[in-house]
Structure 1
Amino acid sequence: MVYREAIDMAMPSLALSSSLRISSLKKNKDILWLERTYKHALELKNYTLAKRYLEYLIEEDKARRAYWLREYYNLAMAMEDTKLALEVLINLYTIEPAERERIKQSIAWLLLKSSQNPELLLKEYMMKHPYQEMYYMDILATLYRAKKAYKKAFEVYSVLYEKVKDPREKALIYKNIIGLLLEAKDYNTLKDFIERNYVNHLDNLELLKLTLRASLATGDPSFAYKIAKDIAGRIK
């Protein structure tokens, strides 16, 4: 078999041409040969070909879609294609809820390192994917926070907090807003936000503990006492 001989003789170009032919014969549906072709193309720094076969893998190997998307992000970075890297990260963000906070930080880092206007890059993405408005707003707020544009971040998070209905998503945004306002040392806004919204999370012990700690962090003992007393009265 030509492919096996090419591997044994360490001839990556021949291995690539052989795996390309076999994958084509299998109509680019066989995951094993798609993966081999992708890896050989990557080894030879044939990024255009690697990209094509990685897209096949993302489509065909649904069980490992997140893994291949991470590969796609690394490839986009190697190609110095910021727009593609951004799109891949946002795709990861949408399919991996447990990793969203970490992925958001990666997106913010990518945008801040870009030579292009980060807000414009996000807006371009949003225009292509209008159904992902909530994701866009969450990422935009994270970007503003990374830039220490706390007022803008709070404005976006506040709109998002009102729009989101899912209790788990709402709890996460509540937590992010408190963290943001503590980081900004904007204690008056923090007190107002807590007072208006803590009642939405009376069934979440973790958030109630966070609320009490944040109330104390405002440096206003009377406010902290009032919130603690109100919470105690409501959860009896």
Structure 2
Amino acid sequence: MKVVILAGGFGTRLSEETSTIPKPMVKIGDKPIIWHIMKHYSSYGFNDFVILGGYKSYVIKEYFANYYLHQSDVEFDMENNTMTTLESKTEKWKVTILDTGLHTMTGGRIKRAAKYLDEPFFLTYGDGVSDVNIKELLDFHNNHDQKFTMTCVQPEGRFGAVDINTETNEINSFMEKPKGDGAWINGGFFVCDPIVFNYLDDDTTVFERSPLENIANDKLLAAYKHRGFWKPMDTLRDKNQLESKWNDNKAPWKTW
């Protein structure tokens, strides 16, 4: 199965990082966040990727064009102008990168990839990581009658909370970012049937609006509830939190 990654947005809320590179190329540790996402899928045996680029997509192309060289030990013979690979640490990935337009919306980006996707495929965003079990997600999808599965998550609260004694008003303890209001939201990590293209119109189509709403109305959308780790990288604060977990060897999404 192919893994489709939406990677074309402007990332305006992370402008400190995205003035020169696209958001999926912002680094967590010494690797772009899209690399972390791809390593996660690859750890479950899925190595065929279709990246839907847009804003500064040439940066993504250049990264993968030079990936083999950067991951390998090499010897250069300057006199004869030759290069010999001594040891390779590269991946077993096949990576297709599509330029889906600078201002194209998410649904339009997916539609532009239609000719490459004639079988069920995974779909996710290029700016969020999770420890979702991809095999269990696929098994769940295959065991249900719907054509689509969306991973649903309960995001952490925006602020920390305090436990207050209702009788004395004394603060008993502090809690760091408990779950929000209990609502389930779209966490990405979809499984999609090619019938999805029937719900997509043009470049202005926002996948998360009328297409998903119509798919749900047609009773074709199942919810896979993920109660583990999930975090999007929307702001510099999010980026720093993810990087801190990675540098401390406490990254829940590291499944490889």
TM-score, normalised relative to structure 1:
0.26
- Structure with the higher strand share, 1 or 2: 2
Structure with larger Rg: 1
Between structures 1 and 2, the one with greater helix share: 1
For normalisation by structure 2, the TM-score amounts to 0.25
Say which structure, 1 or 2, has more relative contact order (CA 8 Å, 6+ apart): 2
